[in-house]
Structure 1
């Protein structure tokens, strides 16, 4: 939208200080700062690999008969990873990408344009969605609910803008147990990598100190940006209280998260392009194999609350 605010990729010290007391400002500053490198950081692409991943998350969360939804809304779209790949998979025909961060909305609409997808973009607060009632037949989000202060209010808004019988699907939400071990794994990996790359033979693997410092400052805001973790049963109750029906939460990534978090942290701590294609294939195929183990073996014996990612779906009453 032309009236959307401009991105703030380089926050002032005063803005950062204010963000410690304002979760929504923290989300804007943090994600505006990350918008230019977010796809690289999280190995996001818009090819078969991520199309299959996004469609797989959708099918894991909700039933789908293969027919496309006509108009979809994504909350907290970031650079567009979830909705744009779902559209390429045939899940939705037209879409609207929204985020609290103007930088992320700009990145998502650029990605959509490059892919030739029919997508609009808008800066939107998930607690106050500026679209009329019954505007969409699908609302999706990936790793967004844990950034929203009032999750139940967001669910009420989602249900309001859905047409009767419309469905919501949210994926990639951290569980309380999963977040605890993922953060520890990330912290240990960051400390080990940045310490070892100080040594003479390994200095070529070290990012410039100013980049490491900037990453550390931004990461410090995560304690403000990441507001919630979820117990799957509590998340189901929240959506049900908001008025949804047919609510179901599932979880994924236990063994896969044990590999994924150290891998992603290591990638963020070394210079871009240093690791190469063989590393990318090792990381991807390793994650695939452990995800298979999670899905076919561990989810039968490990409590769902121990897995890292929560997914939730439900519909608006007809």
Structure 2
């Protein structure tokens, strides 16, 4: 396991640092993701068991197919805690891995997760617009919910193609569409407003988080609004990847009804004390998401324009030499 010798994470950004980050999206990304690193898996119900292994491999296969597996060496761009790559490796998609992220805190957590799982993974703190690896290094580059954080997406695609071996593939998933982001954020804001105000009532006081925690969540949300730079039209994202030199480019979208339910549920969970979220509640939320995702995939994807769905996934390959 390769240790990370880059700057230490900063999990307690001050109000002054947050203010400065409004003019510097990369600083905002480091502050926000360092802040979130220690609790990120819990916040997004991330695990490294069959549930998330199946999710990751299903998403990968939905856009890229099953050919070429296992890839010898895969790199995750903007890895966060390693959710996508580590679960793909456990699912047999790749043998060896490298995690990269602009946040030192996230790289540390991803390497710790990989070590706990017994996976062959190294890591670097890395800027997606200047990936610190040699040309033709990887057979596969993946990312989950990362492109929308990168200021210059076209340059990042160029870097991805540079570090891929000829014929290598990239797969990015979990990116917000323009229309999907619009309705998701509105639902989230409405849910936050209703929950935080209704729990002021004495009869619902036990459901209210301490004000200090709500203030901290609001400060994190303010940074989140800065780090979420882009939303995507699927066709325009395909055009950007082709413009960087990718071939065999294909975008697929997912989650419509699942997003309409999922965003209010996630926001509600962030606004109430965690001890109120029982196992029964979490199972309800998870199984509802499964049912609605199946509805989206089997029915709604066949009748609705792909632009209406919340997530876009994209794949492509580097031209063979």
Which of the five TM-score ranges fits, normalised by the shorter chain? over 0.9
8 A contact 2:29–2:103 mirrored in 1: yes
Change (3 A) 1:135 1:255: same
1: CA distance, partners of 2:212 / 2:301: 42
Whole-angstrom distance in 1 between the partners of 2:118 and 2:222:
37
Q: CA deviation at 1:201?
A: 2.3
Please say if 1:201 is aligned against 2:203.
yes
Question: In the TM superposition, what is the alpha-carbon distance from 1:15 to its structure 2 partner?
Answer: 1.7
Q: Which residue, out of 168, 176, 179, partners 2:178?
A: 176
Aligned with residue 210 of structure 1, among 209, 212, 215: 212
Q: 99, 102, 108: which one pairs with 1:100? A: 102
1:25 alignment partner, one of 18, 21, 27: 27
Map 1:245-256 onto structure 2 (within 5 A): 245-256=247-258
Question: Aligned equivalents of 2:290 and 2:251: distance in 1?
Answer: 22
Once residues 208 and 87 of structure 2 are traced to their aligned partners in structure 1, the CA distance between those partners, rounded to angstroms, is 33
2:112 is the counterpart of 1:110 = yes
RMSD over aligned CA atoms reads 1.0
For 1:299, the equivalent position in structure 2 comes to 301
Other structure's SS at 1:6 match: coil
CA–CA distance in structure 2, aligned partners of residues 88 and 193 of structure 1? 38
Which of 149, 162, 165 is equivalent to 2:164?
Answer: 162
**Aligned to 2:54, what secondary structure does the other structure show?**
helix
Whole-angstrom CA distance in 2 between matches of 1:68 and 1:172: 22
Gaps of at least 5 residues in structure 1 are none
**Greater alpha carbon shift after TM alignment, 5-14 vs 154-163:** 5-14
- Bigger drift between 61-70 and 26-35 goes to 61-70
More off after superposition, 91-100 vs 215-224: 215-224
Residue 112 of structure 2 aligns to a residue in which SS?
A: helix
Q: Is the partner of 1:221 in helix, strand or coil?
A: helix
Number of the residue aligned with 1:241 = 243
What is the distance in 1 between the residues matched to 2:310 and 2:258?
A: 9
**Distance across 1 between alignment mates of 2:57 and 2:282:** 21
The residue number in structure 2 matching 1:226 is 228
Aligned match of 1:149:
151
Query: Which secondary structure does the structure 1 equivalent of 2:66 belong to?
Result: coil
Q: 1:66 to 1:276 in 2, by over 3 A?
A: farther
SS of alignment partner, residue 136 of structure 2: coil
Cα deviations by residue, 1:61-102 (Å, 9 ceiling, x for unpaired): 111137311100001111111001001101011101111011
The corresponding residue for 2:319 is 317
CA distance in 2, matches of 1:278, 1:89: 28
Task: Count residues in correspondence.
Answer: 318
Q: Distance in 2 between matches of 1:194 and 1:32?
A: 26
Q: CA deviation at 1:196?
A: 1.3
Q: Give the 4+ runs in structure 1 shifted more than 6 A.
A: none
Secondary structure class of the residue paired with 2:259: helix
Q: Please, which runs of 5 or more residues in structure 2 have no aligned partner?
A: none
